[in-house]
Amino acid sequence: MGKYESLARQIVENVGGKENIAVLNHCVTRLRFQLKDESKANDELIKNLDGVVTLVKSGGQYQVVIGNHVVEVFKDVCEVAGISSSETGGSDQEEVHMSFGAKVIDIVSGTFTPLLGVMCASGMIKGLVTLLSFYNILPATSGLYQLLYATGDAIFYLFPIVLGYTSAVKFKMSPFLGTVIGCSLVYPTLQGVDLNMFGQTINVTYTSTVLPILLTNFLASYLERTLKKVIPDVVKTFLVPMIVLLIAAPLGFIVIGPIANWLATVIGNAIMWVYALSPMAAGFIVGAFWQVLVIFGLHMGLVAVAIMQLVTGQGTPIFSLGLGASFAQTAVVFAIWMKTKNKKLKSIALPAWISGIFGVTEPAIYGVTLTRIPMFVISCVGAGLAGIWYGFTGLLQWTNAGLGVFAIPGFLKEGMDITQTIIYVVIGIAIAMISAFILAFVLFKDDVEDNKIVSPADGTLKPLDQVHDEVFSTGAMGKGVCLEPTSNTFKAPASGTLTTLFPTLHAFGITTNTGDEILVHIGLDTVNLNGKYFKALVKQGQKVKVGDSIVEVDLHAIQEAGYHIETPIIVTATDGHIENIQSGEVQSGKMIYEIKEG
């Protein structure tokens, strides 16, 4: 088990347990679950887990945003849940009910996501080798050039093979059976030659294709499941794959493949037709809305179309038009980091803008800009302006390279003016970053945080040093004030996250939106009551607003049991200091002290 075992166990527990997981995979920053029953998941607790950025539910998927270390968390979640990381599915075949559109997005995501890392790596190798050749550092006639270029190009040329594996996993069929079907489609002696069958001549090529293997494996998965039900166990191991191969491979090559190739051509031409109508308008739309699609995980639809274009050797405008999104987002967060005086925001923004440079923008989006909508809109505008430039220049991407700055090699191709291409790419990045930075720096204002802590109940305030408990009266636990409560419902003294709710319910802690930690300890030594006379009204981990009811108690019964009902309300952690401490009678919701910064 890895170092994220604790987080993995909490995630599995709060998605409803391993028995509620139908399918699990991951992308660059997210765990992507399909849950059998989403109502069993505890959304608020997952959102507030230490190590989770946020939660997104879209396209039939329950997406837990982790960040840059998602691969390690994924491995630990698989181990905790008893899921093979190569199968990424539950042990049964229970169907998850989704709309048709959600199913399409889910299939695309589940099939392409496992390949994106190695595809980006391969695309970067092709781009860098092309760059070295253009500047005569590595001649195209050298053996090393040919070897490295083949290394980068292999996955694209033999794409049906690797896609055969990932699609088989997604369709819940034998992965190696799906791989062999992919191999049969790209068998070298069958590519681009006349094959006479059934009185017809067929001439097709399936290297560097996407749809033929997807549709063929979709059929093969149903065929395999049917045969497993009717063929005796004693011969099932070899007879099922043999029959599947005999039916699916020829059918895929002769019937499904040609139709799929035609469909892929139609889709690609349609995209280019729309793009040709107004490249600059398309650039603004794709650039401006790219991050919105990413938030909901819906960008995978565009990614799939782009990949279909790339593997056939076509350039795609999709990735180029969206290139500015990560840089605009990074520039906005950098401006916020420079301008804010909020220490917590600064600590979040610093790693967010650094990771954003490399194309991983979820920390920036969910941690900084999405809760500040004008800043998010500015990042979209900056990306849209870059998209206009890329549309104007007609810039296309030729390989699926990395994210952020690592995407640049993907725009390089043999036979083109590489220097000019790099200049076009850099100008677009500059447009995105400069426009977004200036707008964000001018318009950003620190949130006016209300650092007033209010009384959680009606009662009478007295100095903390008068509490009948040395731990509190000496200030060892923190500074604050004591309340002699007269009302039985205790409410949140500040807005934030209910980070602590003791099992005995005698105390609760709130971490405010500015990072201060407030503890409300109801009575003295009341932990000994083991929750008797206490009733929780919320769950630990929930977001709460000032005045939300947290715990209901029976003060009279607690006193009858011989316990003091003195309630210390203290600040256990803060970067500031306490001022303006109140005394005397107080009503619930009225200020009892303030936390001042510095």
- List, by residue number, the catalytic residues: 27, 521
DSSP for 457-516 reads SSEEEEEGGGSS-HHHHTTSS-EEEEEEE-SSEEE-SSSEEEEEE-TT-SEEEEEETTS-
Q: Name every residue whose Cβ is closer than 8 Å to that of residue 109 and which is 6 or more positions away in sequence.
A: 25, 27, 32, 59, 61, 297, 300
Q: Within 10 A of 360 (CB to CB), how many other CB atoms are there?
A: 20
* Cα 415 → chain centroid: 37
SS3 61: strand
* Cα 517 → chain centroid: 28
Give the separation between CA 498 and CA 44, rounded to whole angstroms: 11
Give the separation between CA 341 and CA 350, rounded to whole angstroms: 13
Q: Within 10 A of 28 (CB to CB), how many other CB atoms are there?
A: 19
Give the separation between CA 557 and CA 573, rounded to whole angstroms: 32
C-alpha neighbours within 13 Å on the C-beta side of residue 428 = 36
Q: Pairing between strand 591-596 and 479-485?
A: unpaired
Give the separation between CA 527 and CA 519, rounded to whole angstroms: 14
Burial (Cβ within 10 Å: 0-12, 13-18, ≥19) of residue 63: buried
